[in-house]
Structure 1
Amino acid sequence: MNFYEELGYLVLGSRMRRLSEAFLSEINKTYQAAGIPFDASWFPVFYLLSQNDSLSIKELSDITGVSHPAASQLVTNLKNKKLLKTTTSSDDGRRQLVQLTKAGRALLEQILPVWDAVKEAMEELANTDPESRHLLPALSGIERSFRAVTLSERIGEKLTLKQSKHEQNL
């Protein structure tokens, strides 16, 4: 058993970050090897815009679960690369609608086969180990639990109980 396995939930965030970084690095290597100028961190925006003609920055933020400033920064970065454009909503002049440019749509056509291959490879990988098959449902369960009661609230309750027991034993 390695260090991370021994510490269990104490290092869950670190393990998930390590796994995420390794996953994204491998995906970026795949894009590079195929000669596709795409970064895996752009995936949520490109995927959502592949399914919708346009979305507001707020919609992108809400759907992906990132802050509005983070979504806005990514959109600005992709606009600077000429992959996205924004237009003012005809309904609300304060609302900017995000769309793929012609270059963005061309890039999307290049990356769609990569997405299919990633999905197939990950499904194959998950099926090589019986425990791996439960990863996505387990992540969904943890996310639902975090939304119901935050981890900091749960930890606070445990600390309050421990403090209360400690004071009773004095």
Structure 2
Amino acid sequence: MEDILRSLGFLCLGSRMKRIGELLQADTQRVLNRLDMRIQASQYPLLAALDRLGPLPVGELAQSLGVAQPGVTRSVALLAELGLVEVNPADDDQRRRIVSLTGN
């Protein structure tokens, strides 16, 4: 079957790049699954951001990754269940939640 995105060339470059990214992430996840890793490939950037930038509010963490806040909130909850991050209220505003790495 004809690959429409490929045949349209530069007109659909963004869609083609997105497809490549999804394929790379799927391949990475297969490797992680074989290694019995506890986290998903999509969660590594979040952990890397916290490692590099230190504890951050959820909104700033989402902004640093260039993704939507609800997705970060879901990932943070999963990583907290695994004991890899902890979430605490901010000192200055109890509504804000600060995410930090644990020692695990």
Range class of TM-score, shorter chain: 0.7 to 0.9
Aligned to 1:42: 43
- Return the index of the structure with the highest Cα Rg: 1
1:98 shift after superposition: 0.3
Tell me the alpha carbon deviations over residues 89-114 of structure 1, each in whole angstroms, 9 at most, x when there is no partner.
223222211012233xxxxxxxxxxx
Over the aligned positions, Cα root-mean-square deviation in angstroms equals: 2.1
Gaps of 5+ in 1: 104-170
Question: 1:73–1:36: structure 2 CA closer, same or farther, 3 Å change rule?
Answer: closer
Unaligned runs of 5+ in 2: none
Counterpart contact for 1:86–1:96, Cα < 8 Å: yes
Alignment match, 2:97: 96
Greater RCO, 1 or 2 (C-alpha within 8 Å, sep 6+): 2
Report the structure, 1 or 2, having the larger helix content: 1
Cα-to-partner distance string for 1:9-63 (whole Å, 9 max, x where unaligned): 3433432232112101221223233332221110221101111331110111111
Between Structure 1 and Structure 2, the one with more strand by share is: 2
**Could you tell me which residue of structure 2 aligns to residue 17 of structure 1?**
18
Quick check: 1:28–1:38 contact (8 Å CA) kept in 2? no
Aligned to 1:87: 88
Query: When the two structures are aligned, how many residues end up with a matched partner?
Result: 102
Letter in 2 for 1:102: G
Partner of 1:67: 68
CA deviation after TM superposition for structure 1 residue 72, in Å: 1.5
Greater alpha carbon shift after TM alignment, 2-11 vs 68-77: 2-11
Aligned residues of 1:75 and 1:84 also touching (Cα < 8 A): yes
Q: TM-score, normalised by structure 1?
A: 0.52
Map of 1:29 onto structure 2:
30
Quote the sequence identity (%). 29
